[in-house]
Structure 1
Amino acid sequence: MHRTEHRPAGRPRHPHRSRRSGPRDFDWELGPGRSGRGGRRGRKGGDVRAAALLLLAEAPAHGYSLIQQIAARSDGAWSPSPGSIYPVLQQLEDEGLIEFTRVEGRKTASLTETGAAYVEENREALGEPWDSEQLGRGIPAESAALNTALKSLMSAARHVMTDGSPAHQAQAAAIVADTRRRLYGLLADDES
């Protein structure tokens, strides 16, 4: 017997596959990281839209390349997620500021004439979104250094997971567990 799925009328079967899906704090009218309730809510990082436009003014790029360029220009302080970069690129295309073409099998974005004119007219307002001051987070240098060290640790752990022997992986797990205990110990020492 064929079973039918019951769901409320008008509700898509897979809402996460909808073109209008995006990060929780994504407002399609205002842009990424902005809500209609007071602006930037819960965002960590700079202005993805400004960063994408400025980088695309220099050269066409695909989404992953934009993420890498932003991370490099911010010295690792800001690395937007694919969940923030790709909706912005789609919005910029909808606005007629960028267009996509296939380059070596990758969907690559480039500014349209309208987009290039927009960047030139608004270059000062776009600023340098990867600059630590414009990130607007007020992160002390020590916190930024810890964040960079943590990213390096994650990269090393991934390499051990994929390339290390089972013995190496067991040793790495013990090192990470010991490091976690020692980090909590730092906080416990402060409370004494």
Structure 2
Amino acid sequence: MFRFSHGGGGRHHHHFGPRGGMDPERFFHWAERLNDGAQRRGGGGGGRSRRMFDGSELRLVLLKLIADQPRHGYELIKAIEALTGGAYAPSPGVVYPTLTLLDEMELIAEEASEGARKRFAVTEAGRVHLGEQAETVAALIARLEALGEHRARGEGEGAPVRRAMHNLRHAVGDRATRSDATPELLHEIAALIDEVAQKVERLK
């Protein structure tokens, strides 16, 4: 693994794995910090946002969404974001390991799909598990929908910034962690982000 510094006197460091893609653990840590900073600047309460679900709850939510229709990780993130009206979206750093766990538990299974993304469908065991946890699942989905309704009633002045940061986090996360993400591509992504950051700092 190696690192490079981009601008700012070496302030920004980007890490790459042996195949050229950004090291996932470091990338997702950076993405969470990016999103947290946007929420603080956008009126998100002045501190780190609390986690919406614990691990078992997130597993049930993802399993329910996959049971509704087969999806890959990015589609699941966007589905949860849509349920909350953009107020919340789980990070790729928690979604993808949870999908791996659900697969190992044989509650979902990968199905044939075009492209590099893994799309998952629910198994019979997964449907049985959802049936056993029906009340809990309904409460979790209701929690997401209530958050969306609250957001719709009064988004606040920081809402456009939070929405834009959500979009940036997802777009960068989706592109930077693909298997074909080369160091040159990641340099380009970093340069674009740095350019936007500099323009924002110069705003009056």
Instruction: Give the TM-score band, short-chain normalised.
Output: 0.5 to 0.7
Show the counterpart of 1:174.
202
CA contact (8 A) 2:102 2:108 kept: yes
Q: Which residue, out of 158, 161, 180, partners 1:150? A: 161
Can you give the 5+ residue segments of structure 2 that lack an aligned partner in the other structure?
Answer: 1-17, 30-48, 172-190
Q: Secondary structure at the match of 2:87?
A: coil
Q: Secondary structure at the match of 1:103?
A: coil
Q: Which residue, out of 89, 96, 102, partners 1:86? A: 96
Distance in 1 of aligned mates of 2:160 and 2:51: 18
Alpha-carbon spacing, 1:43–1:134, altered in 2? closer, same or farther (3 Å): farther
AA partner of residue 51 (structure 2): K
AA partner of residue 133 (structure 2): N
Per-residue deviation, residues 85-121 of structure 1 (Å, max 9, x unmatched): 0111111111110111231122111111110111122
Q: Percent identity?
A: 28
Distance in 2 of aligned mates of 1:128 and 1:83: 24
AA partner of residue 113 (structure 1): E
Show the counterpart of 2:52.
45
CA contact (8 A) 1:45 1:79 kept: no
Give the structure with higher Rg (CA). Answer: 1
Matches of residues 40-189 of structure 1 in structure 2 within 5 Å?
43-46=50-53, 47-105=57-115, 106-132=117-143, 145=156, 148-154=159-165, 162=192, 171-175=199-203, 178=204
CA contact (8 A) 2:109 2:121 kept: yes
Alpha-carbon spacing, 1:97–1:77, altered in 2? closer, same or farther (3 Å): same
AA partner of residue 125 (structure 2): T
Q: Secondary structure at the match of 2:70?
A: coil
Per-residue deviation, residues 124-152 of structure 1 (Å, max 9, x unmatched): 1122435447889xx99899645633323
Distance in 1 of aligned mates of 2:73 and 2:144: 24
User: Structure 1 length as normaliser, TM-score?
Assistant: 0.53
CA contact (8 A) 2:87 2:151 kept: no
Q: Which has the higher helix share?
A: 2
Show the counterpart of 2:11.
none
Per-residue deviation, residues 48-104 of structure 1 (Å, max 9, x unmatched): 212101101100000000000000001112100001101111111111101112311
**Structure with the larger RCO, 1 or 2 (CA within 8 Å, 6+ apart):** 2
Distance in 1 of aligned mates of 2:61 and 2:114: 24
